[in-house]
Amino acid sequence: MPLLKKMGGRKTPPPEKPASDARTVRLEKEQPAAPSVPGTRQVKPEEDVTPSQMTRPMDPDALEGQPTGPAAAEEAPRSPTLSVGAILEGRYQIESVLGIGGMSVVYRGRDLRFKGVYRICAIKEMIDRSPNSQTRGITLKNFEREASLLATLNHPAIPKIYDYFVVGGRIYLILEFVEGQNLEDILEESLEPLEEERVVRWAVQICDVLSYLHNHKPEPIIFRDMKPSNVMITSDERIVLIDFGIARIFEADLKGTMIGTEGYSPPEQYRGVAEPRGDLYALGATMHHLLTKSDPRLETPFTFHERPPSSLNPDLSPQLEGLIMKALEYDVQQRWASAVEMRSALLDLAHLDIADLRPGGVPAAGPSGGERMLWSFECEEEVRASPLIYNGVLYVGAYDNNLYALDTSAGKFLWKFPTQQGICSTACSWERFVAVGSEDGNVYALHAQSGQVQWTARTGGPIRSSPRVLLDALFVGSDDQNVYAFDLRRGEQIWTYRTWGAVRSSASTAGRVIFIGSDDGHIYAIESRSGELQWKSRTGLPVVSSPVTAEGMIFVGSWDSYLYALDQNSGWPAWKFRTQGRVTSTPLVYGSRLYVGSSDGNLYCLETRNGKQVWKFETQSFITSSPQVVGGKVYFGAGNGQVYCLQAESGREVWSFQTGKPVTGTPAIEEGVVYIGSMDQRVYALRA
């Protein structure tokens, strides 16, 4: 993001804004002069170079000869100081203006010395009109430095300098004319992030030239301002670095001036430290920008690790992402050790890309469908419910009316218990018992080992809600619109609470309160002992999703397409997040993140504190399954029959497994195995 310097009342705005780059316009707040503290690593105030000074004539806005940024209309470009046709030193004829920056103008010129040929050159003129003599001094120094630096360099990716002179108090550099387009313009013209392969090829070349600079003798040269607008791409895809205005000879341990471009510069540069690995950071930032189209100047500084490129461009290969993130480490020691090392990693990757990556950038590593599956078990009807794992036994209900008990290690059948109708409710467990609700309207409490009935409790309608246990009571909703509390030992009814719609949501508990949704569109908070209403909160449509509690909040989805976060004590909605379809899926809170599916086909990852989207993953099919997170990976099923495993942090797909019909239930995960049912009538055990 552009830096906005806070300004007090005493100071009037500067007479003219920096002319070139709208993005770097900043505002100055009056800053009382800080007492200089000896011994602190303080940057000298006179060297506090403003972004306008950092903006150089080859910047994208400027190259067109007219600013194109958002503030362009407000900022008339400075008029060039030389008119077309003017001749400098009897030799260089001005042909056109290429760009106007804060401190210099770049012209396209013709070298008249070579009579027979049409030889063009770039003419860079220092035009600083700063009323501040100190600032002028710095500009002049930078200009001279650029000239003498370029004179000592010889590399195909660095423009050659032909001449350097002063005319009428103005300074001119005559440079090799680089025909091409800068990377910022290329990126702006592209509707999508740039191609991975192309970016890698450029990056290899950039590492080449950086390595040349960093190995400069007697002292390394730090470019200090690597960013898309400072890289030209010629018609044959060669890169040329332009603008050496702030490059400097590296002197070990010398604290220099804080300089560079916000967004691309490494953190240490803000305390005046410029060293070779800072250029690698800026190259990483540049690559991140090219591959995501997310402009780092518009983001919170140094947040690349919160925005891994794959979260913005899912097609990106994980290898390249790792490579870029290593360049972007805050800690210099954690980055690539040198441009050479980064270059060889890029070359390895270019090789890898062709051999080992499937289209779409998903690594082919890991077991394929056959190896993924450990076992499957076939029921006689659809499996819509979610499995429960309890003491090494898997309990799952099917639409064939049965609750099955299977051995988790091999999927061996242990027993089944027939109810009168289908089961889509998930079982719960306590002590030696499991309980499940059935479409027949009953809750059955069974001995976990034998499947023998302990008790049966009756409701007035089908049960699609899953029973939940709190202390010595079991809570369940029924299509008869009631929420029931049953005594855990005998199944006697403790209380009922009447809502105005079928209750298909399952209760969650916090303290002595249970939270449950109803098809009447409300979320209810009910005291667990008395059945008394504590609060209710309204959404627009049925609440089938089950509330989850975390950190004093309730999270729940609604068919009105929102995911709600409510204050647990009062029911006031703190935030809501809109998806494009019904939210039947029950959210999962894991750390500071929340995962939830929607019938719009996306699995969303949100920040729990404010509902901000971190990433989403598209399945192009409905998701009613509730995600589970284990070991940094999120697992869920979708309407397309797939079971997905994604990286919880980035949403990148790790693997997927195809079943024969929609997967509506929630996976149970234990000891590296994912257990999940499918409407293809099977229960699967998959390697996590």
Nearest by Cα to 576 from 602, 632, 537: 537
DSSP string, 290-340: HHH---GGGS-TT-GGGS-HHHH-TTS-HHHHHHHHHHT-SSGGGS-SSHH
Distance CA 229, CA 422 (A): 64
Give the helix/strand (H/E) hosting 394. strand 393-397
State the sign of the Cα–Cα–Cα–Cα dihedral 402, 406, 408, 410: negative
CB of 560 to other proteins, least distance (A): 10
Bridge-based pairing of strands 653-658 and 682-687 is unpaired
Q: Is 535 in the site for other proteins (CB under 8 A)?
A: yes
Distance CA 95, CA 589 (A): 63
What's 140's DSSP letter? Answer: H
CB of 83 to other proteins, least distance (A): 29
DSSP string, 516-546: EE-TTSEEEEEETTT--EEEEEE-SS---SP
DSSP string, 644-663: EEEETTT--EEEEEE-SS--
Nearer to other proteins, 330 or 500 (CB): 330
CB of 73 to other proteins, least distance (A): 9
Size of the site for other proteins (CB under 8 A): 71
Nearer to other proteins, 152 or 300 (CB): 300
**Which range binds other proteins by CB under 8 A, 362-370, 501-509, 532-540, 598-606?**
532-540
Residues 51-90 that bind other proteins (CB under 8 A): 70, 74
Q: Is 9 in the site for other proteins (CB under 8 A)?
A: yes
CB of 252 to other proteins, least distance (A): 19
What's 667's DSSP letter? Answer: -
Nearest by Cα to 18 from 10, 9, 27: 27
> How wide is the angle at C-alpha 126 spanned by C-alphas 125 and 130, nearest 5°?
150
Distance CA 532, CA 544 (A): 21
Q: Is 532 in the site for other proteins (CB under 8 A)?
A: yes
For tokens 């100071």, name the residue.
Answer: 11
- Which residue type is seen at 305? H
Distance CA 477, CA 489 (A): 19
Distance CA 643, CA 648 (A): 15
Other CB atoms within 10 A of residue 594 CB: 25
**Which range binds other proteins by CB under 8 A, 10-18, 384-392, 394-402, 621-629?**
10-18
Nearer to other proteins, 343 or 522 (CB): 522
Nearer to other proteins, 12 or 79 (CB): 12
Residue window 215-254: x/- pattern of binding to other proteins, with contact defined by CB under 8 A: ----------------------------------------
> How wide is the angle at C-alpha 299 spanned by C-alphas 196 and 195, nearest 5°?
10
Phi/psi at 350 (nearest 5 deg)? -60, -35
CB of 330 to other proteins, least distance (A): 5
Q: Is 208 in the site for other proteins (CB under 8 A)?
A: no
CB of 682 to other proteins, least distance (A): 40
Residues 306-365 that bind other proteins (CB under 8 A): 330
Length of the chain: 688
**Which range binds other proteins by CB under 8 A, 192-200, 236-244, 312-320, 525-533?**
525-533
CB of 557 to other proteins, least distance (A): 14
Nearer to other proteins, 40 or 235 (CB): 40
Q: Is 181 in the site for other proteins (CB under 8 A)?
A: no
Nearer to other proteins, 539 or 628 (CB): 539
Tokens of 64: 């067109």
Residues 589-628 that bind other proteins (CB under 8 A): 609-612
**Edge-first strand listing for the sheet containing 682-687:** 373-378, 682-687, 673-677, 668-670
Residue window 267-286: x/- pattern of binding to other proteins, with contact defined by CB under 8 A: xx-xx---------------
Residue window 452-491: x/- pattern of binding to other proteins, with contact defined by CB under 8 A: ----------------------------------------
Nearer to other proteins, 27 or 347 (CB): 27
**Which range binds other proteins by CB under 8 A, 232-240, 320-328, 398-406, 559-567?**
559-567
Burial class (CB in 10 A: 0-12, 13-18, 19+), 279: buried
Residue 566: C-alpha distances to residues 28, 130, 521 (Å): 41, 56, 14
Nearer to other proteins, 43 or 120 (CB): 43
Nearer to other proteins, 4 or 347 (CB): 4
Residues 560-589 that bind other proteins (CB under 8 A): 564-565, 567, 569-576
Nearest by Cα to 339 from 233, 238, 220, 232: 220
Answer for which of 195, 538, 613, 671 binds other proteins (CB under 8 A) is: 538
CB of 6 to other proteins, least distance (A): 4
Answer for which of 12, 79, 154, 235 binds other proteins (CB under 8 A) is: 12
**Which range binds other proteins by CB under 8 A, 210-218, 264-272, 369-377, 390-398?**
264-272
CB of 301 to other proteins, least distance (A): 5
Residues 14-53 that bind other proteins (CB under 8 A): 25-27, 29-32, 34-37, 40-43, 45, 48
**Edge-first strand listing for the sheet containing 602-607:** 588-590, 593-597, 602-607, 613-618
Answer for which of 163, 176, 341, 527 binds other proteins (CB under 8 A) is: 527
Q: Is 541 in the site for other proteins (CB under 8 A)?
A: no
Answer for which of 132, 530, 580, 658 binds other proteins (CB under 8 A) is: 530
Residues 377-436 that bind other proteins (CB under 8 A): none
CB of 270 to other proteins, least distance (A): 5
Residue 180: C-alpha distances to residues 235, 243, 294, 615 (Å): 6, 15, 23, 36
Other CB atoms within 10 A of residue 382 CB: 20
**Which range binds other proteins by CB under 8 A, 159-167, 216-224, 295-303, 452-460?**
295-303
